[in-house]
Amino acid sequence: MAFKEGFNLEEALGLASLCAEIEQTPIPNNLSEWQLIFDSLEFSPFNERWKLWKKTSTDTYAIVIRGTILSFGSILEDLLSFLIQSDAQLDYKHQCIVYQFASHPQAAVHAGFAIGALLLLLHPEKGIVNQLRKSVPSGSPIYITGHSQGAAVATLIRSYLHYQPTNLSHKYKSYVFAQPKPGNDFYAYDFDHLFSNKGMAFRMINSLDWVPQLPFTFELLSDVNNPTPSDPLHPLEKNSLKSMPHIDFMLSQLGIKELGNNYDRLISALLTKIQIKTLNLINTILKPLESLLPTDIQLPVVQSFFFTPAATPITLIGSPCSGKDCENPFYQHSIPMYYKLMKNQL
């Protein structure tokens, strides 16, 4: 059975129920039509968890990624919000982990979410790649879903399975909820061209939810596409906006130039933490190397903070909180809220 193109409310509500189940958050929908095939349970070093379900009536499967929990490793994954190349490798001494999330050379992805995705995908016993090969027959349609951190990671997992498929005949469709931004604009272009344009990837967003507004993002001049040789500015500016003296002066006056110059210092402050996280990933997925130090890890860092969302937006208008609900900073972000808004508005 192939997926039908386009947004389907019944599909979205069912997958929201699976997200609620893995987060142990009850919503008014039963899961009797779904059979649990695999539960990774929570595994170290980053408190990851995912589940594989089968819809018995249609032999359709669902990969469900859990969102952030209150643990150091899980929260650190969110906070490591700088960009790395989307098609590269994590190098360490004589070994490496090769990965690809997009094909465009300027595409970049959120470092924490990317490493979390690779751990979920490639863990030798509990990884998605291994379980799909073992448990999901060829030709099966597979939903990919997640909420919050799980939404961003699920988005990257969708990309990975396109470029490094476990089975060429598997078909995928994704619905994610409250997605923080998983990469830069060129990653989003790649994702949307492959999946959103075909009606096979959707992200639900509540207009009052603050999490999809993260990570904080800003666009530097280096993020702007250069004019083409046919651009009227070309003869004067040598095909580069960065060489325009009046723009250089303007950036200096606004302090934006200094902000860009401080990028390396910010990355250096984060690098030790991400190297430790990457070392744990390497020692989990491949044969541990006792002599390996975090400083041995070479990361393909991209000098940009231009984060953008990916997938077709399905916009829900949030209902303002009242009373004690306003004391909960995650009131608008919860999967029950998303379920309620979808039921009432779609």
pLDDT tens per residue across span 149-158: 999 999 999 9
Burial level of 20, CB count in 10 A (0-12/13-18/19+)?
buried
The residue count for the chain = 346
Task: Spell out the residues 6+ positions from residue 19 whose beta carbon is closer than 8 angstroms to its own.
Answer: 64, 67, 145, 146, 147, 150, 177, 335
Out of 23-27, 42-46, 117-121, 155-159, give the one with best mean pLDDT.
155-159
Q: Is pLDDT of 232 > 50?
A: no
> Residue 56: how many CB atoms within 10 A of its CB?
11
DSSP assignment of 276-298 equals: HHHHHHHHHHS---TT--GGGEE
Give the pLDDT mean for 65-87.
80
Architecture of domain 9-217+262-345: 3-Layer(aba) Sandwich (3.40)
CA dihedral 288, 290, 296, 300 (to 10 degrees): 10
112-116, 243-247, 307-311, 333-337: least confidently modelled range: 243-247
Angle at 344 between CA 343 and CA 345, to 5 degrees: 100
Report whether 92 contacts 292 (CB < 8 A): yes
Relative orientation angle of helices 149-163 and 111-122, to the nearest 10 degrees = 60
Amino acid at 149: Q
Q: How far apart are CA 55 and CA 28, in angstroms?
A: 18
CA angle 295, 297, 299 (to 5 degrees): 120
Identify any residues that bridge with 108 across adjacent strands, giving them in sequence order: 85
Pick from 16-30, 78-92, 176-190 the range whose average pLDDT is largest.
Answer: 176-190
Rounded distance, CA 77 to CA 169, Å?
Answer: 32
Neighbours of 171 (CB within 10 A): 15
CB 19 within 8 A of CB 49: no
Question: 73 falls in which pLDDT band (50, 70, 90)?
Answer: low
Percent above pLDDT 90 for the chain: 55
Mean pLDDT, range 84-109, rounded to an integer: 86
pLDDT tens-digit readout, 253-264: 444 444 445 555
Kindly report the pTM of this predicted structure.
0.85
The reported pLDDT for the residue numbered 253 is 46
Tokens of 123: 């863990």
267 falls in which pLDDT band (50, 70, 90)? low
Residue 287 has pLDDT above 60, yes or no: no
> In this model, does residue 217 exceed pLDDT 60?
yes
pLDDT digits (tens, 9 = 90+) for 305-323: 899 999 999 999 999 999 9
Domain definitions of the chain by residue range: 9-217+262-345
If you average pLDDT over every residue of the chain, what do you get? Answer: 83
State residue 293's pLDDT score: 56
| Of 100 and 28, the one with more pLDDT | 100
The pair of structure tokens assigned to 116 is 């979390």
Long-range contacts of 219-226 (CB under 8 A, 24+ apart): 219/306, 220/256, 220/259, 220/260, 220/304, 220/305, 220/306, 221/247, 221/251, 221/256, 221/260, 222/260, 222/303, 222/304, 223/184, 223/185, 223/304, 223/306
Mean pLDDT within 36-56: 90
pLDDT at 278: 63
